Amino acid sequence: MSEGTIAIASDHAGPSLKEEFKADLEKRGFTVLDLGTHGDESVDYPDYGKAVGEAVASGKAERGVVICGTGIGISIAANRIPGVRAAVVHDVTSAKLAREHNDANVMALGVRVVGPEVAMDCLDAFFTTEFSGGERHVRRIGKLG
């Protein structure tokens, strides 16, 4: 995958990593839809997870990236939107398997948990790994609703 639109958002914990992710995604040929936040003023992560989830579910974006302190709260928010499969990733293996097995369409990351280099490695793995397909994975994803 190297074209299309990626929706991205973070709460106040993540604007600087969000900028790095945006630059990297643009270099890969994606159009980036930045849904905020843009400063360090405290905001509520559910608003940003929901915004990315809605962009992906509506087809405005092919995939999404969400960032908060742990990646947990914002992934829960994104996952409340039907059609979203947001995965919290911590390393290349989790990012890769989230794509191969879960066909995750949103990557969630915690800046207070994952260092900047590993974060970039996760982004690379998430956007260069395809869903492996196959009857069992398709069946399981189908059960997610």
Active site residues: 68, 101
* Rg of the chain, C-alpha, whole Å: 14
Q: Which of 33, 57, 72, 141 binds ligand RB5 (CB under 6 A)?
A: 72
Look at residues 13, 46, 51 and name the one whose alpha carbon lies nearest to residue 33.
51
* Contact flags string 33-52 toward ligand RB5, x per CB under 6 A: ------------x-------
Interacting residues of 95 by C-beta distance below 8 A, sequence separation 6+: 87, 89, 107, 121, 122, 123, 125, 126, 129
| Alpha helices for 58-134 (secondary structure H) | 72-79, 92-100, 116-128
Q: In the set 9, 51, 63, 70, which binds ligand RB5 (CB under 6 A)?
A: 70
**Nearer to ligand RB5 among residue 71 and residue 127 (C-beta):** 71
Q: Which is nearer to ligand RB5, 25 or 78 (CB)?
A: 78
Q: Point out which residues bind ligand RB5 (CB under 6 A).
A: 11, 13, 45, 68-70, 72-73
